Structure 1
Amino acid sequence: MISKIQLGLILPWFWIQIYSYEILLDHNKNDGTWMVRNENGTYKVAATVPGGIYTDLSVAGILTQDIYYRFNDIEYRWVSKENWTYSRTFEVSEDFLEKQQIFLVFYGIDTIASVYLNDQHIGDCENMFVRYSYNVKSIIHTGTNNIKVKILSPINEAKKRFEKQATNYIVPACVPDEYHGECHVNFLRKMQASFAWDWGPAFPSVGIWKSVVLEAFDIAVLREVMLQTVESNNKWSLYLNVFVETGNQTSNISGNFSASLTTYTNLVTVTKYETLSPYAPGFFNTILLLEIPKSQIQLWWPNGYGDQKLYPLEVVFSNEHNSKSTKTLKVGFRSIQLVQEPVAIGTGLTFYFKVNNVPIFAKGSNWIPSHVLPEKSAEPKRIEYLLESARIANMNMLRVWGGGLYESDLFYQLADEKGLLIWQDFMFACSMYPTDDNFLQSVSTEVTQQVRRLQHHPSIAIWAGNNENEAALRDNWYGTSNDFNRYKQDYITLYVDTIRNITLAQDNVRPFAVSSPSNGIESEEEGYVANNPSSTFYGDIHYYNYISNGWDPDTFKVTRFSSEYGYQSMPSFLSLTEVSIPSDLRLYSEFTRNRQHHPYGYPEIIAEIDYNLQYSHNLNDTEQYPIFIYFSQINQAMSYKTETEFYRRSRNLLTSDGQGLTMGALYWQLNDIWQAPSWASIEFNGKWKILHYFAKDFFAPILVSPYKRADGVLRVDLISDILTDMQCVLNIFVYKWNSLNPIYNISSNHTLNNASVTNAFNHDMKEFLQIAGCGANETTSKCFLYFTLTSLDGEEISPHNFLFPQPLKKLMNFTAPDITVASVSLAPNSQNVFEIELKTDKIALFVWLEAYNIPGHFSSNGFLMVKPNISITFVTKYNVDINKLHEAITIFSLGDYYKE
């Protein structure tokens, strides 16, 4: 048997090793409590493991305010400049010591640390993404033992490592001054965003951020299981690569290896007795094969394409001495390919994913850490909420960005369950990196462990070596052009010779991209640093344009795959009040300036608003600040809508020179890390911005998508991700701004082609509006268009859509509507779902509802009202009185702030 003492909080039951019995020893049990103190002893407080220093100091009352309150990202920086020691005592029994091997295992220390057991130095840590295991059989004893983890200041250690470089060759990296951050995080294998980013603060935490375990066993402990599914005519072959660890043992080990997969109709098992030789001292592996009839397996599909079938798998190592170690996983059966083939016309290669031989248009967003403190990034409720919000918004892919974290096991488990494909960056972003032997060795261990930990998840679609570093090197972001060849060689050494080679050796069933953006195969053929890593003819691009009009589709590039794009907006007024005082809440206050980390951020937001909206309010007036927030969210939502629909319409487009065939739109970014201006669609407190409500529509499986071409033609395309053709009816309505009755409408029948884009309507815009009755002059300012798509029997199959022929600041005869809540009622058979009926007397644009102090989200928000009545739902997890909800709802729309 294997015994285990847990020296931190209990790990989740899923996806981890299950031992025959265990002694739990969390932060306040078994006669021991974790404590943390700084180097000179000024502070000594109780600590939590897993945890971190900012959390510990906050719980102890040393940090008296929320870390995000006002300027605490600066005021509390002293914490990161101290060295901190975590310590505790724990009890060990005699029977525990009878085991032949005893390991002290740290699943995550942040970051540069030395570990002591019973005052003996047992090892050092320098990578927060690495599991460290120490054989402590000769050091541990019966009764009371003590452990110390001395962690160095990450700010000071990063600076020291930077200064140790050769003076004739500098690896640069300091964040811009606007970030209010720290320098040289690229010298540490730590969450890169912890030293600040353009959407987040600097909180360079330290701590034991994952569990600590004391393991005792006789022969070996089962560490990891990787798998490969191979499909044939009548069966699935499931190959399992099983890894076990024994300590520093160099002799062979023998034992039984078994695996069992539970299908819906059967239990498929395999067992073999084997004698293994170590592939490195103390490390062994073997291959098991399970063969499962196809009739017993249902495929795993991304969200929107089918179900997410997962099957329990148990793998066991045991021997004649009754030593047993077990690991449980959940397995999904699916195939995945990244297709990069020559296009039929012109230049370039395709770039799209096939799952189960079906081309998938990747719809989704980019994931940043859910919290700036690593230990809080694994909070189950927050992760569940964010991933469910992504699923509701019809997403099927998230890109886990390379400046953050390899996320918790729960994150990937939920991604599996919700059908969210994961574009998994390794944690390198927007920097050059050192390539000395120690750094490369640490990275090698990191990559090996993380690939083995994550590889079995069906949601993992692709590995990517870094974020934007190929583009940064080629375009001289960091002043490296004076010695380009040397920096390029370092780039190849790190991302190709090390990360890529190790990843493909561990997992050869998934694609690997050296960078993002990148030209994919073309970048490799050009020596891994392409002349133009953001070519629209190859691979993926990151596209940001804060100068041109984001509501104009001609602003955007025709590309194969857009893996980043976006515009900033403000978080809600309510979110900002959580971390400020009233005088902070104006655009040019010190607080508001401190929260904007993106250079030129506010001027860009204002300029984008001015393209389309009539904004004549005092930008520094506290009472008018909420108006600016609202306008910024409208602009963000409309810009993302325009860009995303542009990418989706380009799915079938192939220009004469070879551009088009777009198959991915992953906007930047899904979640926020604090209350500040950002590109996020979901605020830090979970509140959906207008953008996220819009995403639910612009990512819908079927979408009617109108736009005005540069030549003035109104074009309407029908977009479908559905895998079968269907018959449909397109309805086009023309409204004047002063009436809820359309002045004109036409309908036409169409075949909605499967997994394709179908053109359904083309007509000169001005001529069409004149025909509709908008008048001969200034027709585009008097009217707008509204679109629905139904089945032949009248069932709506697409979200409604709309098109403004002119910027909204040029409207004629537009006045503020009177919108009221007609009724609020509890939905049938529900406790926390409410039906809300709204009434309006006029056309209403961007109707925004707030349910102040009642967390939840509406089924729709930021919408247009073109009928007198509309019904929506409000979903909350709390028991809410109907009358209080009714009273809490406030409504405003663009008309409230419009002056003709």
Structure 2
Amino acid sequence: MNLNGVWRLGICTDEEYRKLKLEIKDLETLEKKGILVVNGTVPGNYELDLEKQHLIENPFFGENLLQERGRERNHLFYGKTFTFHAEDQKEYLLEFEGIDTVAEIYLNGRLLAKADNMFLPQVFLIPGNEWKKGTNEILVHILPIAVEARNYDYPLYVDTQKYQMDAMYIRKAAYMFGWDIFPRMLSGGIWKDVRITEKDEITWKQSYLFTRELSEDLQTCELEYFYELDLDELAYAGLTLEIEGTCGNSHFFEKTDVWGIAGHLRIALENPKLWWPRRTGEQNLYEVEVRLKQEKTLLASRSFRFGVRSVELDRTSLTSEKGEGEFCFLVNHKKIFILGTNWVPLDSFPSRGKDKIKPALDLVLDLDCNMIRCWGGGYYESDEFYEICDEKGILVWQDFMEACGRYPQSEEFLKKLEKEVTFHVRRLRQHPCLALWSGDNENDTAILWGTNGRVDPNSNRNTRRVIPEVLRMNDYVREYLPSSPYIDEVAFKNHAGDSRIPEQHLWGPRDYYKGDFYKNAIAHFASETGYHGCPSVKSIRKFISEKALWPYQLNGEWLLHASSPTEKMEEPYAYRIELMASQIRVLFGCEAKDLEEFSFLSQISQAEAKKYFIERFRIGKWKRTGIIWWNVLDGCPQFSDAVVDYYFDKKLAYDYIKRSQERVVLLCDEPEENGNIHLMASNDLPTGEKIHYCVTDVTCDVVAAEGDAFLPADSCVEIALLDSRKRKAFYKIEWKTEGKRFFNHFVTWKAPFDKVAYLKYAEKAGIIRRE
């Protein structure tokens, strides 16, 4: 029975609630206490209901974000009556997939439990005779986080960014407290589905089929199936369990007698059809059915999809100044070059994120990314996300939900984290797309730099004790990185910081994108790097009021959407508006004269920067092994590093990235001192490719190089040498393979560019089309 839809929603401040001097456990009490009660929506966030009923204005428009501070101490009451005819002899599960966040849950006036984790479902087993005959009632009282966070002790060690201290103990998505890419919106609500299901007498508590071993020649493998059953009072005698899987003409079958509620079953498979990441091979998925039988009677069954594959992470603790080190993913014993994007919540209001998963992943697929990094400041995505990644071959780097802080180490907090991690490991481990568990986002660096190196990040019990133990018990076959970036004991003892480790977040000064920081970075793998790009004017007009559109200086609305919680210039994130302007000045040596030019020049700056970052890593293949740029899509209307804004309007960088991520792509390395430029060809295909290429300097219509080349499989090789000593060239690079034409570009100029000349030749090269 689905309980989604219209609920009654009560809202009052903490001061109003305390004056009531009683608990609200049912709808009758709620409706009679004189507080605001409206129709609410489940799944939902309460501000969306208030906006729908014109009780508040669009929170994302103009200065309306400032009103969120006044709502941080609101109590929420979600109530629903429904008709339910339970059978006395049966048992039922009342399931809340997600409540945001601290809540008391009542059924017919009886307290079932107090929830305290946005990331965990709340499931209650209720016998049929405990339901009322006919009409029943649920009431969920959601308490304000800004009040609940005061119930904890905060030692000196616990620390984070300015706006997130209340997030340290509360298991609520960190971005909601205010981030540089999200406004502070401590929203609340029942953000996922609510349902009642009849409990099966016989079912699975756990089910996990995995690749135990895959031979080096990929011709044989051994699978292992682990199960834990809920058999109620059923005896073992006569019970058998069988598992069967089919993918095309490949098939396996195995069965065993049941001698306990849990067991392991090994399966030998010859000539398996393998699951490969996109850009590398096919995404073969076995349709698997597991059946529990007593004699010949089928008692229960379950079906799922399974991919035969192995994933390894080859990494070193340090990278030398000469670039000696490693951080490389291997799938099915083969090195995989990663071109990926970071994934953040798709909406400030988490209840709206699920509807955007498919269109957001369509963007990722269009850009031909083969990995997504699920960032630790958000929430764990829904099943649909991982299912699509399975089908499309997108590897998933999965952070656990901690970010940019020194989190509590108390036993109470560790137990809460252990429960959360165990649930999601068991929920997600069946997905072949899942390549890596990562303990957190940037907590190692937060500990190191926040304590001036006095505290070793390896003493963090969250990521060095709790999570590894959960993984050892529940998913020991999958790789684990305690933090991103990860500062292990060797790196810490060598005072390496985060500049000499193989995997880095390459943000740096965010000055000229070809500056020393980016050009000289020795990272083998960048799991974050990005560059600002202004949204289109069309999009800006949707969230900035007419009076505040221009100029950007000392502009409170621009700051709020940058994403500063106030309009004060001294706030930590206020720099992000001036950052865009500075990047325009660096690249073009001028100020933008109006909003239209500001937006356009900023997008060019971002596009060239992200193109440079990606191509620098591709040219360095295999010394460099992957880049996960930041990021594909905004989760709110803002000025940011995303290449597609909140309204799905693509910035110029989107097209530049798409060209730079072609599976066969021609690229120019940076000019040498003598003016020579190496024309490189990167081939990510598993087969060698023949191409015909032509490089034209569109400033004078001179062909700089033309010819045929053979590109070895999975390689990056030099195919020509360009001489740019006599002129400032704007190269259009064209190539043809298997009847298809592709193109790229390269500008030999040093910043600042002549903006008129850039626009002229960019249009001539076909990379920009101005309406």
TM range (shorter): 0.7 to 0.9
Correspondence for 2:471:
503
Instruction: Verify the 8 A CA contact 1:474 1:531 in the aligned structure 2.
Output: no
* TM-score, with structure 2 as normaliser: 0.87
Correspondence for 2:328:
352
Residue 75 of structure 2 aligns with an amino acid whose one-letter code is N
Distance 1:547 1:266 in 2: 51
Instruction: Verify the 8 A CA contact 1:731 1:748 in the aligned structure 2.
Output: yes
Secondary structure of the structure 1 residue equivalent to 2:183: strand
Distance 1:73 1:256 in 2: 59
Instruction: Verify the 8 A CA contact 1:707 1:803 in the aligned structure 2.
Output: no
Correspondence for 1:371:
347
Residue 338 of structure 1 aligns with an amino acid whose one-letter code is L
Residue 119, structure 1, aligned to residue 119, structure 2: no
Correspondence for 2:28:
none
Deviations 1:554-587 (CA, angstroms, capped at 9, x unpaired):
7431321011111111111111212232112111
Correspondence for 2:170:
188
Residue 231 of structure 1 aligns with an amino acid whose one-letter code is L
Instruction: Verify the 8 A CA contact 1:474 1:530 in the aligned structure 2.
Output: no
Residue 152, structure 1, aligned to residue 69, structure 2: no
Distance 1:368 1:133 in 2: 27
Secondary structure of the structure 1 residue equivalent to 2:243: strand
Instruction: Verify the 8 A CA contact 1:546 1:604 in the aligned structure 2.
Output: no
**CA distance 1:323–1:127, shift in 2 (3 Å):** farther
The match for 1:550 among 501, 510, 513 is: 513
Distance 1:604 1:252 in 2: 67
Structure 1 residue 61, shift from structure 2 partner: 3.5
Residue 385 of structure 2 aligns with an amino acid whose one-letter code is F
Residue 504 of structure 2 aligns with an amino acid whose one-letter code is I
Structure 1 residue 345, shift from structure 2 partner: 11
The match for 1:172 among 159, 166, 170 is: 159
Deviations 1:656-699 (CA, angstroms, capped at 9, x unpaired):
xxxxx110111111110111110101111111111111111111
Secondary structure of the structure 1 residue equivalent to 2:168: helix
Secondary structure of the structure 2 residue equivalent to 1:45: strand
Structure 1 residue 221, shift from structure 2 partner: 3.9
Correspondence for 2:504:
541
Distance 2:251 2:711 in 1: 43
The match for 1:201 among 156, 160, 183 is: 183
Structure 1 residue 183, shift from structure 2 partner: 4.0
Instruction: Verify the 8 A CA contact 1:254 1:276 in the aligned structure 2.
Output: no
Distance 2:307 2:400 in 1: 23
Secondary structure of the structure 2 residue equivalent to 1:187: coil
* Equivalent residue runs for 1:219-618 within 5 Å: 219-229=201-211, 230-232=213-215, 235-244=220-229, 257-265=241-249, 268-276=252-260, 285-294=262-271, 297-316=272-291, 326-340=301-315, 348-379=324-355, 382-476=356-450, 480-481=451-452, 484-485=454-455, 488=457, 491-519=459-487, 523-525=488-490, 531-536=495-500, 538-546=501-509, 548-551=511-514, 555-556=518-519, 557-586=521-550, 587-588=552-553, 589-597=555-563, 598-618=573-593
Residue 845 of structure 1 aligns with an amino acid whose one-letter code is A
Structure 1 stretch displaced more, 75-84 or 435-444 = 75-84
Residue 864, structure 1, aligned to residue 758, structure 2: no
- Segments of 5+ residues of structure 1 without an aligned counterpart are 9-26, 176-180, 278-284, 619-623, 653-660, 770-778, 817-842, 848-861, 866-890, 894-900
**CA distance 1:547–1:345, shift in 2 (3 Å):** closer
**CA distance 1:196–1:345, shift in 2 (3 Å):** closer
Residue 892 of structure 1 aligns with an amino acid whose one-letter code is R
Root mean square deviation of aligned Cα: 3.2
Correspondence for 1:66:
58
Structure 1 residue 103, shift from structure 2 partner: 3.1
* Equivalent residue runs for 1:811-850 within 5 Å: 814=757, 843-845=760-762
Structure 1 residue 386, shift from structure 2 partner: 1.3
Distance 2:690 2:83 in 1: 71
Deviations 1:358-398 (CA, angstroms, capped at 9, x unpaired):
2111001101011111111111xx21111111111121111
Structure 1 residue 469, shift from structure 2 partner: 0.8
**CA distance 1:83–1:534, shift in 2 (3 Å):** same
The match for 1:733 among 690, 696, 719 is: 696
**CA distance 1:293–1:666, shift in 2 (3 Å):** same
Secondary structure of the structure 2 residue equivalent to 1:276: coil
Secondary structure of the structure 2 residue equivalent to 1:385: helix
* Equivalent residue runs for 1:611-626 within 5 Å: 611-618=586-593, 624-626=594-596
Distance 1:757 1:764 in 2: 20
Deviations 1:844-900 (CA, angstroms, capped at 9, x unpaired):
4258xxxxxxxxxxxxxx9437xxxxxxxxxxxxxxxxxxxxxxxxx628xxxxxxx
Instruction: Verify the 8 A CA contact 2:698 2:761 in the aligned structure 1.
Output: no
The match for 2:82 among 87, 90, 106 is: 90
Structure 1 residue 276, shift from structure 2 partner: 2.9
Distance 2:188 2:416 in 1: 18
Instruction: Verify the 8 A CA contact 1:542 1:563 in the aligned structure 2.
Output: yes
Residue 550 of structure 1 aligns with an amino acid whose one-letter code is Y
- Segments of 5+ residues of structure 2 without an aligned counterpart are 21-33, 564-572
**CA distance 1:329–1:204, shift in 2 (3 Å):** farther
Structure 1 residue 800, shift from structure 2 partner: 2.7
Secondary structure of the structure 1 residue equivalent to 2:436: strand
Structure 1 residue 431, shift from structure 2 partner: 0.9
Correspondence for 2:744:
800
Instruction: Verify the 8 A CA contact 1:258 1:315 in the aligned structure 2.
Output: yes
Residues matched between the structures, number: 734
**CA distance 1:209–1:222, shift in 2 (3 Å):** farther
Structure 1 stretch displaced more, 190-199 or 593-602 = 593-602
* TM-score, with structure 1 as normaliser: 0.75
Instruction: Verify the 8 A CA contact 2:530 2:610 in the aligned structure 1.
Output: yes
Secondary structure of the structure 1 residue equivalent to 2:694: strand
Structure 1 residue 348, shift from structure 2 partner: 4.5
Distance 1:61 1:683 in 2: 26
Question: Once the two structures are aligned, what percentage of the paired residues are identical?
Answer: 24
Structure 1 stretch displaced more, 310-319 or 698-707 = 310-319
Secondary structure of the structure 2 residue equivalent to 1:47: strand
Residue 56, structure 1, aligned to residue 49, structure 2: yes
Residue 264 of structure 2 aligns with an amino acid whose one-letter code is I
**CA distance 1:312–1:58, shift in 2 (3 Å):** farther
Residue 560 of structure 1 aligns with an amino acid whose one-letter code is H
Residue 568 of structure 1 aligns with an amino acid whose one-letter code is H
Distance 1:804 1:796 in 2: 27
**CA distance 1:369–1:91, shift in 2 (3 Å):** same
Residue 666 of structure 1 aligns with an amino acid whose one-letter code is I
* Equivalent residue runs for 1:25-36 within 5 Å: 27=5, 33=7, 35-36=9-10
Structure 1 stretch displaced more, 317-326 or 123-132 = 317-326
Structure 1 residue 404, shift from structure 2 partner: 0.5
Distance 2:205 2:397 in 1: 25
Instruction: Verify the 8 A CA contact 1:227 1:455 in the aligned structure 2.
Output: no
**CA distance 1:243–1:701, shift in 2 (3 Å):** same
Residue 154 of structure 2 aligns with an amino acid whose one-letter code is Q
Correspondence for 1:784:
730
Instruction: Verify the 8 A CA contact 2:9 2:76 in the aligned structure 1.
Output: no
Residue 638 of structure 1 aligns with an amino acid whose one-letter code is E
Instruction: Verify the 8 A CA contact 1:552 1:642 in the aligned structure 2.
Output: no
Residue 336 of structure 2 aligns with an amino acid whose one-letter code is I
Residue 731 of structure 1 aligns with an amino acid whose one-letter code is C
Distance 2:92 2:298 in 1: 14
